[in-house]
Amino acid sequence: MKIGVIGTGNMGRSLGILWAHQGHEVFFGARDISKAEKAAELAGNHACIGSNDDAASFGDILFYSPGVVLVSKVLQSPSQLAGKIVIDSSNWNIPEGFKFEPVTRSIAEQLAEQVPDARIIKAFNTMGMEVLELCPDEIRSHKVACFVSGDDESSRQIVISLAEDIGFVGVDCGRLQNARLLESAADLIRYLAITNERWTEVISVYEVPQASTSKLGGREVSNLY
């Protein structure tokens, strides 16, 4: 796949390098070309570098990391995103005292409002780049979840495939509005990371077998579920 990285920060650089190592064609875009050069050198496999607009033009799939910055401030031609899968991994800034507000409108939804013709996907926002250092082989045994939400089902499946390429377990989280849940989950991960002074906190999703017999009376109908 042809992947354009818009914003070569920690996550964009790391994911781009990993995907290049898996044989994908990767273009690193950045305002500071030296960051793109460093990423491309680590990526090898003929990775390309240039501006963010160049990366947007190159990729069929775009990893977009500028977060809440208006697309019009990042790209001279935001229309380049039309029809493309755009992966957003951004989270809100951590408030003082960890006084997180409920996420009622996700960063991913805001991005979709700015570029309505793009196929916005929320993913890779519940892990730090330190976790990516274990990809692809060491991470597999830990069954770390990469949650994926977006309104286009085929795009979700493509991003799930990209996550699984580098060792994660892709978890389909349905519509883009569920990005609110993913961003809230990231708040918990970041709280744990900061208070425990390590950025290797993750979420793993397991499906345990159903009990063959019930000793607790079984699930009763309730208003909650």
pLDDT 10s digits, 139-171: 999 999 999 999 999 999 999 999 999 999 999
The pLDDT score that the predictor gives to residue 175 is 99
The Cα 78–Cα 176 span in angstroms is: 20
Q: Which helix (H) or strand (E) holds 17?
A: helix 10-21
Alpha carbon of residue 118 to chain centroid: 16
Contact 63, 30 (CB under 8 A): no
Q: Find, among 115, 121, 164, 118, the residue nearest to 140 by Cα.
A: 164
The pLDDT score that the predictor gives to residue 88 is 98
Give the whole-number percent of the chain exceeding pLDDT 70: 100
Q: Which residue has the higher pLDDT, 175 or 224?
A: 175
The pLDDT score that the predictor gives to residue 225 is 59
At 74-133, the pLDDT tens digits run 999 999 999 999 999 999 999 999 998 889 999 999 999 999 999 999 999 999 999 999
At 200-221, the pLDDT tens digits run 999 999 889 999 999 999 888 8
Q: Which domains, ranges and CATH numbers included, belong to the chain?
A: 2-195 (3.40.50.720)
Q: Give the global pTM.
A: 0.94
Contact 135, 99 (CB under 8 A): no
The Cα 19–Cα 2 span in angstroms is: 10
Give the mean pLDDT of the chain. 95
